[in-house]
Amino acid sequence: MKLNRERVTLAEKKLSVGLGAKPDLLQSKLDLNAQKAARLAELTLQEQLKEQLNRLVSFKQGTDYEVTDSIPINKNILITNVLNTAERFNPTLLVAQQNISIGAQYTAYDKYQGASNNYDGAGRNASDNNTLLLYAWFAF
């Protein structure tokens, strides 16, 4: 913006001493006004986005804050701490844990049809009927 203001000043001075043309002055003023309009549009967009963020995080309407242009980085973060915190406090994960049940059931047979060995005359043993049942239950 400073450059466009300087262009307007320079065009005015050239025109006043007879070295410049009126279209140059008008074009420099047009460029300055376009830059001012773009800046105002950007500031308006920032305010709208702040209000939208306030609604999303349930802040009171009109809460004002400034966003810094840099992000401080904590180099001491451990992934295990982040995962543990997410498992304990993340609402989506907590709901998912409550809505999913996974299990296993093992049934072992010592006797089948009254015998433990060769119960059907074909050499099958009771332990051949042992079963492992894996199940998952989801609730939505």
Report which of residues 2 and 100 the model is more confident about. Answer: 2
- Start-end of H helices in the chain: 2-17, 22-56, 79-89, 91-99
Q: How far is CA 56 from CA 34, 42, 50, 59, 77, in A?
A: 33, 21, 10, 8, 27
Report which of residues 79 and 101 the model is more confident about. Answer: 79
d(Cα 135, Cα 100) in Å, to the nearest integer? 11
Domain of residue 16, residue span: 2-56
- Alpha-carbon dihedral 42, 43, 48, 52, rounded to 10 degrees: 90
Tens of pLDDT, residue by residue over 90-116, are: 888 888 777 777 788 888 888 888 888
Does 117 fall in a domain? yes
Confidence grade of residue 140 (pLDDT, cut at 50, 70, 90): low
Q: What total of structural domains would you count in the chain?
A: 2
Does 45 fall in a domain? yes
Q: Is the pTM of this model over 0.85?
A: no
Mean pLDDT across the chain: 86
